[in-house]
Amino acid sequence: MIFSIDNILSPEEISEIKQVLERAEFVDGKLTAGWHAKLVKNNQQLKSGTSQKELKAKICAVLFKNALFQTTVRPKTIHSILFSRYDQGMSYDTHVDNALMKNNGSFCRSDVSFTLFLNSPQDYEGGDLTIEGVQEEQHYKLDAGSAIIYPSTTLHRVNPVTQGTRLVVVGWVQSVIRDASDREILFDLETARRAIFAKSGKTPEFDLISKSIANLLRKWADI
């Protein structure tokens, strides 16, 4: 399931992050790419250090507070967050994200990927995120503060930036629910449950759906 979330970051939060990035040092993005991804990755990433740790913590806190992110992704761990910059001519050609990624000395699974945009699409040309499907491609270039969430299993790419600079945060999630179709079932049930509650309150139907959600979580949760 691919979906977008608007206004994850406020304009003030975006401004604060960009001020830090303007003073920070960026390094070659190939440093965090797998052996085959290095061949197609051409961008820059925020160098590891105090600033990076503080910004990562800020992004994690914002995502864990977001109700839609929680309901859809059901995160166990948000990991491997990168602050990426694409200047003119830079791109990241077709690749699939690594299934396992090092996080604080241990491996985490990548179930869900996200790209959180830090500047306006008017600030640069090109640079859209393209997610490849069986019969079609989907292109994303969202407003500053908005994010696109998509399965880590997909082939995807960042098309060349032809003018300006593209600033994004990318990261990965190990979900409590490993299977994407199971996460979608739980999301649909949760959406129906909330709609019933908003319309009619705590009804017998609401209780039955609540029971089903709880029991499916018991059955599927990977904790």
Q: DSSP 3-state assignment of 71?
A: helix
139 is in an annotated binding site: no
Distance between CA atoms of 1 and 72, rounded to whole angstroms? 9
95 is in an annotated binding site: yes
CB environment 61-93: b (16+ within 10 A), e (fewer)? ebbeebeebeebbbbbbbbbbbbbbbbeebbbe
166 is in an annotated binding site: yes
79 is in an annotated binding site: no
**Per-residue CA distances from 219 to 77, 113, 135, 152, 176 (Å):** 20, 24, 33, 23, 11
| 220 C-beta neighbours (distance < 10 Å), count | 16
CA dihedral over 106, 54, 96, 145, signed as positive or negative: positive
How many Cα atoms occupy the beta-carbon half-sphere of 137 within 13 Å?
13
Binding residues for 2-oxoglutarate: 166
Binding residues for Fe cation: 95, 97, 156
Binding residues: 95, 97, 156, 166
